[in-house]
Amino acid sequence: METGEIRINTLMAAMTALLSVEVFMGLIAPENPSERLAMLGAGRMMETGTLLYIVRHWGQGLGSIGLSASKTGEGIRKGLIWSLVFGITALGCGFVLYSFGMNPLSLVASGMPINTKEVWLLLLVGGVIGPVTEEVFFRGICYGFFRKWGIAAALILTTAVFTAAHSHGSGIPITQAIGGIVFAVAYELEQNLLVPVIIHVTGNLAIFGASLYA
């Protein structure tokens, strides 16, 4: 892997920063849904900025997590290609499930707010801001740390942690598990963090769109 190996001190600093912001947001979370979403978006941006600072100044630089200014265009282009292929594959699987009498939308649909303002906030925070933060941490930092034990270990461990972070009940969030695998594979093959970022963003927006339709 061309991207640098993430050291334990970088991982621990990143985890401490994320936990601190999450605890703080939990303590001051407002009752109003719109305000809560806005605060979550601000918190995620703060987390992203902090993670990038840690990697750049305390780690081995942004190149160690697959972020390079010279490869920005390439990362966006490849991310869109991966998203297109992933989307076509998902549609194909959906048609197969539908032919067997299953409703594929039931597997990806999530609860959506009724208020228009909250819908737009959710699309911005959950569809764009959140995925960026998650990819920097889960793929850029966690995958880079686990990668020293091999590709298989990094893929399995990162996907497991990513899936567990999105688990809110007794069942396994299948969509997140599949997504975690795709994001990790794309990151490993392309060596560019923008690729899984683009896939994650387009995937989340597609899920929210399907949920609105459903």
Which two three-digit tokens encode residue 167? 């688990």
Task: Give CA 42 to chain center in angstroms.
Answer: 16
The total number of residues written for the chain in this structure: 214
Among 46, 33, 207, smallest CA distance to 114 is for 33
Residue of higher predicted confidence among 171 and 152: 152
Task: Give CA 92 to chain center in angstroms.
Answer: 23
Query: Taking a C-beta distance cutoff of 8 angstroms, is the pair 207, 122 a contact?
Result: no
Mean pLDDT of 11-29: 96
* Residue pLDDT, tens place only, 22-80: 999 999 999 999 999 999 999 999 999 999 999 999 999 999 999 999 999 999 999 99
Work out the angle at residue 166's Cα, subtended by the Cα atoms of residues 165 and 167, and round it to the nearest 5 degrees: 95
Global pTM reads 0.93
Note the maximum CA span of the chain. 54
| Residue 105 scores a pLDDT above 90 | no
Helical segments of 54-150, H only = 72-99, 105-108, 116-124, 130-134, 144-146
The rounded mean pLDDT for the chain is: 92
Work out the angle at residue 177's Cα, subtended by the Cα atoms of residues 197 and 192, and round it to the nearest 5 degrees: 25
Distance CA 192, CA 89 (A): 22
Which two three-digit tokens encode residue 190? 């392309």
| Residue 102 scores a pLDDT above 90 | no
